[in-house]
Amino acid sequence: MDDRFNTTAGWVLFSGIVALGASIASGMYFHADSHDYPEGKDFGFFIEGEEEEGGADSGPDLGTLLAAADATAGEAVFAKCSACHTINQGGANGIGPNLWGVLGTPIGAHAAGFAYSSALKDKGGTWDYAAMDAWLANPRGFANGTKMSFAGLSKPEDRANVIAYMKANGGGPDYPAPAAPAEEAAADAPGAGEGPVEGAPVDGAEAAGAMSADQPVAAGNAATDTGGATKVD
């Protein structure tokens, strides 16, 4: 019995020594304790992305959009709102308030008898065109806590058309004026500006004016002798 136990224990011990030695050898070979990669080996890869070049174009200003807005097109977009709102004069409140004549009125106080959310009642201000555009773009962003669950209209043209449709149903203030176009620098043209320009014809006076102070100017009564010398009175 003792012989078998000793033999078994010996083999177990020997197996442990072999396993330990193999672990040490593999660690040395594969650099398990080193964070340096073997020379010439590249691990992983990079994903190349497009570099952002400035902000996206914000598009036309609100005044320009409203000047080109189409109330008929706005009526088609307003169909998304008709499940909650009426817009006819004297129309009943629904899930949302009646919107007849809403433009230019105080925010959160337009429709009598409608229970506006405190987020909208506490917003303050009036439904001017900038406020209505911001509300239609992102209701929750405009008044965090509003009961309105509509996600908003992402296209500025759609919002402008809906606003035009609202104005057609109850009126509203005058549209804001479109922003003035940026002035373009005038391109240089031959002969434009002070001094001679390459490629532009110049007369004698301009040519003389273009000379430096150290350059002599021929007199009008200068004469040339037969020897080629110039005589100046």
Q: What is the pLDDT of residues 211-233, one digit of tens each?
A: 444 444 444 444 444 444 444 44
d(CA 141, CA 105): 20
d(CA 170, CA 164): 11
Using pLDDT thresholds of 50, 70 and 90, give the confidence band for residue 78.
Answer: very high
Q: Is the pLDDT of residue 169 over 60?
A: yes
Give the pair of three-digit tokens for residue 191. 């002969």
C-beta of residue 198 within 8 angstroms of C-beta of residue 213: no
What's residue 10's pLDDT? 73
71-78 and 156-168 helices, crossing angle to 10°:
100
Look at residue 126 and give its three-state secondary structure.
strand
C-beta of residue 230 within 8 angstroms of C-beta of residue 222: yes
Give the pair of three-digit tokens for residue 141. 């962003």
Give the pair of three-digit tokens for residue 86. 């009426």
What's residue 183's pLDDT? 63
Q: Is the pLDDT of residue 63 over 90?
A: yes
What's residue 215's pLDDT? 45
What's residue 41's pLDDT? 42
Q: Is the pLDDT of residue 49 over 70?
A: no
C-beta of residue 97 within 8 angstroms of C-beta of residue 87: no
What's residue 29's pLDDT? 59
C-beta of residue 69 within 8 angstroms of C-beta of residue 161: yes
The residues with which 223 forms a beta bridge, in sequence order, are 231
Domains of the chain, by residue range, sit at 62-168
Calculate the CA dihedral of residues 205, 207, 208, 211 and round it to 10 degrees: 160
The answer to pTM > 0.75 is no
Structure-model confidence comparison of residues 97 and 201, the more confident one: 97
Q: What's 62-168's CATH class?
A: mainly alpha
Q: What is the pLDDT of residues 124-134, one digit of tens each?
A: 999 999 999 99
Q: What is the chain's mean pLDDT, rounded?
A: 75
d(CA 26, CA 82): 73
